[in-house]
Amino acid sequence: MKNRSEIVAAVDFGTTKISVLVAQIDDNGLTVLGVGTAECEEGLRKGMVIAIGKVVEAIRQARHDAEQMSGCIVSDVLVGVGGTHIVGVNNQSMVSPKAREITEMDVTRVLDMAKALSMPVDRQVITMLPKQYAVDEHDGIKDPVGMAGVRLDAEVHLVTAARSALDNLRRCCERSGLRVVQFVANPVASALAVLEDHERELGVVVLDLGGGTGDLTIWHGGRLVHTGVIGAGGELITRDIATGLRTPMSRAEEMKVKHGCAWGELVNASDQIEVPGVGGREDKALSRRVLTEIIEPRVIEIFSMVKREIQKTQYDDNLAGGLVLTGGASQMPGMVELGDEILNLPVRLGQPRGIQGLKSILESPALASVYGLAVFAALSWRADMPKSMLPVTDVQPSVGWRGFLKRIGW
């Protein structure tokens, strides 16, 4: 039998950077073939496009690098959607199977009903994950196809987004010569990239702390139960440093990445750092503690927002797997320790896991969401995943998955 394989491409629209990833999926899993990343300052704010021209330019550059590395031409893409307009909701539905035995068609019908959520016209469902099925009120079923029953119930988690935000992302792709195959919620993608299966079972929070937003999902009993986005990220920390030390944003960013620490207790009182002088003034020495005193209150505020988001759900006492922290801003020393303290949960750093190909590049937590988009695309290839538990998205009918990409020379 001829080995099956498929090549997919994904674009992550981050507040600070655009990433494009090309991967091959086959029966052995996912292999990353190429990645391109381009800085994109002031193109997006908190996940929403605010300057199309800047975004298009960054896509072109990231795409070019990903194409060069992979030897593939990127044309049709999976697009990750972030931003505070992303909201998750749980829903359920019920159908009577057409015959005594439940068929794939019955599952499609019950999922279609669960997806038909009544919501304002300016919102759209982008990702739906089935949580479980019940047949004649026996719940906890993952694959009801073939079972006998007169009633089929489905519980699902839906992630919705603002239609205008999606339209603008599509517009940016089209202007860059790319067609959107489907939109995927970034918080879900990041979680798929970093979580271990047992953490999903135990109950776990994933926080992808980027430049403009914190993407949050909660998983319990193996299912996605909550999605939310907080409007805060690493850029706020940089802004605080720029204001506090009266230095331009670019220098504040440099100092943050080089010397920043989220928790004062981890810094020696005698540690000194150099603050670059502005406008021809000389560099001056500063205690690293002073920098930490600016950073720490902002990080406490961000974790407090996360805590409130978790407390909005009924899962705050059911998180034995703790919190997995990823995203660019997770890289600052002290984040894990301070997160532990504020959230009262065991926190670990989450890097993309199970990577085949380009491991050294993709280990960065800043690439968790773009890698997670490819993991999302690969879910339907997993032998342990019943079809009825696969995510449902709006695949653009004109495109489809076949012929997703053409590999040069194929």
The entry of Mg ion, ligand ATP, none near residue 190 (CB within 5 to 8 angstroms by kind) is: none
Nearer to ligand ATP, 109 or 298 (CB): 298
Phi-psi category of 322—alpha, beta or left, where left has phi over 0 and alpha has psi -120 to 50?
left
Residue length, the chain? Answer: 410
The entry of ligand ATP, Mg ion, none near residue 16 (CB within 5 to 8 angstroms by kind) is: ligand ATP
Instruction: Out of 80, 144, 203, 211, name the contact with ligand ATP by CB under 6 A.
Output: 211
370-392 b/e with 16+ CB inside 10 Å = b?
A: bbbbbbbbbeebeeeeeebbebb
Per the CB < 8 A criterion, the answer to whether 33 and 71 are in contact is yes
Binding of ligand ATP at residue 322 (CB under 6 A)?
Answer: no
The entry of Mg ion, ligand ATP, none near residue 80 (CB within 5 to 8 angstroms by kind) is: none
Instruction: Point out which span in 133-141, 147-155, 228-236, 350-358 binds ligand ATP (CB under 6 A).
Output: 228-236
Cα→Cα distances 161→47, 94, 98, 302, 390, Å: 11, 25, 33, 22, 20
Q: What is the end-to-end Cα distance of the chain in Å, rounded?
A: 19
Binding of ligand ATP at residue 47 (CB under 6 A)?
Answer: yes
Angle in degrees, CA 304, 183, 22, rounded to 5 = 100
Nearer to ligand ATP, 220 or 256 (CB): 256
CB of 18 to Mg ion, least distance (A): 10
Q: 5-13 and 76-81: which strand pairing?
A: parallel
The entry of Mg ion, ligand ATP, none near residue 257 (CB within 5 to 8 angstroms by kind) is: ligand ATP
Nearer to ligand ATP, 156 or 262 (CB): 262
Instruction: Out of 34, 36, 43, 82, name the contact with ligand ATP by CB under 6 A.
Output: 82
- Cβ contacts of 65 within 8 Å, gap of 6 or more: 20, 34, 35, 36, 37, 38
Binding of ligand ATP at residue 366 (CB under 6 A)?
Answer: yes
CB of 369 to ligand ATP, least distance (A): 6
- Cβ contacts of 194 within 8 Å, gap of 6 or more: 206, 324, 326, 350, 351, 352, 353, 365, 368, 372
Per the CB < 8 A criterion, the answer to whether 26 and 382 are in contact is no
Q: How many residues bind ligand ATP (CB under 6 A)?
A: 24
Q: Which residue is nearest to Mg ion (CB)?
A: 210
Instruction: Point out which span in 9-17, 53-61, 165-173, 219-227 binds ligand ATP (CB under 6 A).
Output: 9-17
Where do contacts with ligand ATP occur on this chain (CB under 6 A)?
14-17, 47, 82, 210-213, 233-235, 238, 253, 256-257, 260, 327-329, 331-332, 366
